[in-house]
Amino acid sequence: MLPTTATASTPPPPPAPPPGEPHAALFLALGYMRLPELLACWRVCRLLGEAVAGDPLLWRRLAVEPPLSGRVTDQVLLKLTARADGTLRSLRLFGCLHVSDAGLLRVVEHNPRVTEVLGFFRRLVVSSN
């Protein structure tokens, strides 16, 4: 039997991050976000934008899908993949009609560790009849 003055000790709560520093759980959640959500987080505030833009791990696997794919050009794709700091591993493009073969080649040249590039392009031909 425990004395009446003894209490069960609970571990102290983990220390809070220093002011101005994102919580570690934020980086865990960011890793599960798709490209549109990452870009939205980037625009929320300066602190969150710096966290998203400054973490190359978040940019190692990119999938560009509609409706975003309709606005992605060679220059935009190069800027997005540059966030990986040369460590891009996987790039999946779905319907990126404004991305050329030369643009893809530049991305691969800047990211020598890329192991997967998938592209699904569909061009619609409309008959004038």
pLDDT category at 10 given cuts 50, 70, 90 is confident
Residues 121 and 128: their CA atoms lie apart, in Å, by 22
Q: What pTM, to 2 d.p., does this model score? A: 0.73
Instruction: Please give the full DSSP string across the chain, using - where no structure is assigned.
Output: ---TT--PPPPPPPPPPPTT---HHHHHHHTT--HHHHHHHHHH-HHHHHHHHT-GGGGSEEEE-TTGGGG-BHHHHHHHHHTTTT---EEEEES-TB--HHHHHHHHHH-TT--EEEEE---------
| Domain chopping of the chain, boundaries | 24-120
For residue 71, with 0-12 CB atoms within 10 Å meaning exposed, 13-18 middle and 19 or more buried, which class applies?
A: exposed
Mean pLDDT, the chain, as a whole number? 84
> What pLDDT score was predicted for residue 8?
58
Encoded amino acid at 58, one letter: L
- Omega within 30 of 0 (cis) for the link into 67: yes
Per-residue pLDDT at 121:
66
Pairwise CA distance, residues 113 & 108, whole Å: 8
Q: Is the pLDDT of residue 37 over 70?
A: yes
pLDDT tens, residue by residue, 63-100: 999 999 999 999 999 999 999 999 999 999 999 999 99
